Amino acid sequence: MSETRIERLSGSGVLPATLPFPEGTAVGPLVFLSGQLGNVPGTLALVPGGIRAEARQALENIARVLRAQGLDVDHLVRCTVMLADMAEWPAFNEVYAGFFAGHPLPARSAFGCNGLALGARVEIECTAAR
Percent of the chain exceeding pLDDT 70 equals 98
Supply the range of the domain harboring residue 37. 6-129
CATH value at residue 82 = 3.30.1330.40
Evaluate whether residue 124 is within a structural domain.
Answer: yes
The whole model's pTM is what? 0.95
Count how many domains the chain has. 1
Q: Residue 91: CB partners within 8 Å, gap ≥ 6?
A: 51, 52, 55
Distance CA 97, CA 115 (A): 25
Evaluate whether residue 83 is within a structural domain.
Answer: yes
Evaluate whether residue 112 is within a structural domain.
Answer: yes
List pLDDT tens digits, range 39-54: 999 999 999 999 999 9
pLDDT at 94: 98
Evaluate whether residue 85 is within a structural domain.
Answer: yes
Distance CA 53, CA 68 (A): 23
Evaluate whether residue 1 is within a structural domain.
Answer: no
Angle at 109 between CA 83 and CA 99, to 5 degrees: 75
